[in-house]
Amino acid sequence: MTAQHSDPDLPAVVSSPRETPADHACARPGCNNPVVRNPRGRPRLYCTPACRTQTYRDTHPDARLPVHVEVDHGSTSSRGRPAGQVWLIRLHRGHQQVIIATGLGRPSADHLAAQIDHILNPPPLASPTTIR
C-alpha cells in the first residue's frame, strides 16, 4: 500500500517497509535512473549492475583486450651469463605490461609461459563429437 501526501516535511513515498526513497541519479553518464538507497551500509552509485559494468568498460578500454604471454631476452648483467641465455616472462594487455619472471633458461621460460597461458586461456571443453 502506498501512502502519498503533499507535505514536504514528511518522508517521501514508500511502498513497502524494505524500500527507501531514491536520493540521487545513477552515476553512469547519460543514465538518469534513480538509485534506491540501501537501508544501511555504503550507498549505491549505480541503478543496476549493468550500469556499473558498462561504466567500468567505458573507463577502462584495455580491460576487454586479451592477455598475452611472451618470452623475451632478459638482462645479462645480474648473472654474468652471455646474451641470449637469460630469458624473462612478460604479460601484456594493450599498453600495460608486467614482467613476472627473470633470469630463466629458455626451456624453463617456455614451460612457465605455457603453464601461464594455459591458465589464462584454458582449452575449450570437449564436444560430444570429439570424445572417443
Which residues of the chain carry a pLDDT beneath 50? 1-3, 5, 10, 13-19
Q: For residue 11, what are the CA distances in angstroms to 22, 23, 64? A: 12, 12, 44
Indicate the residue among 36, 59, 82 that finishes a domain. Answer: 59
Residue 30 lies in a domain: yes
Residue 4 lies in a domain: no
Please indicate, yes or no, whether residues 34 and 78 belong to a single structural domain of this protein.
Answer: no
Please indicate, yes or no, whether residues 115 and 79 belong to a single structural domain of this protein.
Answer: yes
- Phi, psi torsion values for 55, nearest 5 degrees: -65, -45
- What range defines the domain where residue 104 resides? 65-120
C-alpha triplet 119, 53, 97: angle, nearest 5°: 45
pLDDT in tens, 58-74: 887 777 788 899 999 87
Element (H, E) at 57: helix 49-59
Quote the pTM value.
0.51
Q: How many domains does the chain have?
A: 2
